[in-house]
Structure 1
Amino acid sequence: MITYPTLSSGATIGITAPSSGVRPNLHELLRQACEKMEQKGYHIVCGETVWTQHKAKSSPAKKRAEEFNGMMSNDQIDIIIPPWGGELLIEILEYLDIENFKTKWVLGYSDVSLLLLAITLKTGMATAHGTNIIDLRGEYSDATTAMWETVLSTNRGGTVLQHSSEKYQQKWRHDEPSPCVYHLTEETYWKTISGKKETVEGRLLGGCIDVIRHLIGTPFGDVQSFRETYIKDEPVLWYLENCELNTADVRRSLVHMKLAGWFENCSGILFGRSSAGFPVEDYTIEDVYVELAEELEVPIIYDIDCGHRPPQLTFINGAYAKVTTEGGKGEVLQIFK
């Protein structure tokens, strides 16, 4: 059985950096995000790691793990939201005190998705793939991003519906700040390999393919034990997004996942928008998706609102979801059962 945390009004947000921290010249962005959350009625507790960054990490692995463990075992902290992702979160896994984690949300994406998936697979506790705290510093949030609060406030047994965005951000323009942080200029259009309407459902699992693939073969990536312990014979609906990989590397990663059994009893795969996926020779990302759909014989929906081209939906690892797309639009119904 999946365990679901619940976000309450006036909750205390713990901000720690299990991957990358914030360099001094960007501290003002984090302060703005903290102020915005306080204006919304939240209480903020910032760890030491968020204010430092050296050699591709906020601090040494043991310090990052100690701070994260402390927040996860602290009854006064209700939810943990890192400032953003990074590169080397995997270093802290061996130092996590998972047996003593309290039930609370952890929200983030990119490198943080490795931590999210590991927690859910090891404990059966739901985790939240969505916005980071830095991107909540705007005067307001777009409708898609703003749903994080509604999703995380859903009680066990409840349902929550999200819709595809109207527009998405093609590239960052830090020199021209936007009231909602993102520059939403491109029309969102969800696509399917079949070219037709698709409806898929199953237990959500996923994250950034660049990093979650490295859980394979470790104690933190035992998908089979997770199935047997927490979701029995229910199918898994994978959601994946690509930060930096070219098409050949995406293909290798997906084959690796398949050979490791991650796609057994898979009902479908959702792929997020990406500025990566660069072709190798004439091998395109669409070729990768077509091959995977044929091999697994499951529907594939791509260019969804997930990942490094925001905004993004809030996907709950472990929740049961029904995803429907037609005519470029999509909706995600999540059931906390």
Structure 2
Amino acid sequence: MPSRRSFLQATTLAPFVSLTTSQPPIATIKPDRLKPGDTIGLFCPAAPAFTRETVQIAEESLQALGFKTIVGPHAYDRYGYLAGRDADRTADLHALFENRNVKAVMAIHGGWGCARLLPLLDYDLIQRNPKILIGYSDVTALLLGIYAKTGLVTFHGPVASATFNAYTVDWLKRLLIEGEALTMKNPTDKGDNLTQVQDRITTLRPGLARGRLMGGNLTVLSHLIGSPYLPDWKNAILFLEDTHEDVYRMDRMMNHLKLAGILDQISGFVFGKCTDCGPGSGYGSLTLDDVLTEYIIPLNKPAYSGAMIGHIKDKFTVALGIDAEMDATAGTIRLLESAVG
């Protein structure tokens, strides 16, 4: 029988295993672009639809864009803070992907619960029936997991309960309907100010970077590390956003990405908006600028912050899995190809 000392020595000398367990590169599948008259399926992968008015406004907004809508049967279910049991929410997603009349699948909103579906999903079914999947916040888990397992390009963009204003709708239409290989650039309107005040970009490291766009909500992404539902990060352009997080939590999650080796693998970095993520009243708190400076600048890779990505009214729709070029000096992300077929 081996001694306790030999066991400890063997354990100590065991090779390091990466926490990322990310999936190897997989062939990219582009969904078909949307056309007027297409049907968009709405479902609740996390929190339930609390009022019928919210869903009604979402349907009317999409119908005003020329689309038809159907709503998953479990959207109003309640299981605590979830829209019913995991199996039922999964069944809604499967049914929408399997329905040949449905051309896009859009989450009504986020909350918490999308990651609970990842072990239950039929990835072969999704791969056989590729279509647009769009949402943000907690939906990041589905966007990353489905892309990692199937190669299907997914979209970090508005949920159905979002504000469909002119800015948000324009970016969505250009990407998903017109199929444009667009360049995402913040608005530059100064209003009646002497210089631009709103929606500025901050260059952290100047330069150009190329790679697959990949990312989403930082909290959700960081909690998938160590699971098989993350993509390969090699030479990816990582974009992140978040909301209502204390700075020490942002620090902790950025450190997690660093320790897992993700930050070392990427080719470039874009931070969108962190809504209501101030230092608060805590003594000696770092700022979000401090955190980004500490983790991103030493990478010596092109990086900027302030992109129109996040829990904000005016937002880009960003394709996960599409090759792009980012210019950290100009604060732009240029797609090198269309994100839809």
Q: TM-score if structure 2 supplies the norm length?
A: 0.81
CA distance in 2, matches of 1:312, 1:53: 30
1:55 aligns with 2:80: yes
Match for residue 8 of structure 1 among 34, 50, 54? 34
The AA in structure 1 aligned to 2:271 is: F
> Contact 1:6–1:154 (CA<8 Å) still a contact in 2?
no
CA contact (8 A) 1:23 1:52 kept: no
3-state SS, counterpart of residue 118 of structure 2: helix
- Please say if residues 304 and 331 of structure 2, whose CA atoms lie closer than 8 Å, have aligned partners that are also in contact: no
Residue 164 of structure 1: aligned partner: 186
For residues 325 and 144 of structure 1, the distance between their equivalents in structure 2, rounded to whole angstroms, comes to: 22
Q: How does 1:102-181 map to 2 (within 5 A)?
A: 102-136=129-163, 141-153=165-177, 159-166=181-188
Q: Deviations over 1:262-286 (max 9, x none)?
A: 2343112111112243336331111
Alpha-carbon deviations, 1:284-328, whole Å to 9, x = none? 1111111112332223211211111231111111011122355xx
Distance change in 2, residues 1:144/1:330 (3 Å): farther
The structural deviation recorded for 1:127 is 0.2
CA distance in 1, matches of 2:149, 2:255: 23
Report the Cα distance in structure 2 between the residues aligned to 1:210 and 1:57, rounded to whole angstroms: 18
Tell whether the 8 Å contact from 1:154 to 1:160 is kept in structure 2 after alignment: no
Give the Cα–Cα distance (whole angstroms) in 2 for the partners of residues 121 and 37 of structure 1: 28
Distance 1:199 1:304, change over 3 A: same
The change in CA–CA distance for 1:66 and 1:251 in structure 2 (over 3 A counts) is same
Equivalent-residue separation in structure 1 for 2:65 and 2:302 (angstroms):
40
Aligned with 2:275: secondary structure? coil
SS in 1 for 2:107: coil
The one-letter code sitting in structure 2 at the alignment partner of 1:334 is L
Native 8 Å contact 2:247 2:285 kept in 1: no
Correspondence list, 1:1-337, <5 A: 1-9=27-35, 10-24=37-51, 27-101=52-126, 102-136=129-163, 141-153=165-177, 159-166=181-188, 187-194=198-205, 198-221=207-230, 223-224=231-232, 235-279=235-279, 281-326=284-329, 330-336=331-337
Deviation (angstroms), 1:257: 1.8
SS of the equivalent of 1:68 reads: helix
TM-score (norm 1): 0.82
- Does structure 2 retain, via aligned residues, the 8 Å contact 1:144–1:164? no
Shift of 1:166: 4.9
The aligned amino acid for 1:314 is T
Deviation of 1:2 after TM superposition, in Å, equals: 1.4
CA RMSD in angstroms comes to 2.4
SS of the aligned residue for 1:274 comes to strand
Q: Is the 8 A contact 2:271 2:306 kept in 1?
A: yes
C-alpha distance in structure 1 between counterparts of 2:268 and 2:331, whole Å: 15
Larger Rg computed on CA atoms: 2
Gaps of at least 5 residues in structure 1 are 168-185, 228-233
Contact 2:103 2:132 in 1 (8 A): yes
Moved more, 297-306 or 103-112: 297-306
Unaligned runs of 5+ in 2: 1-26, 190-196
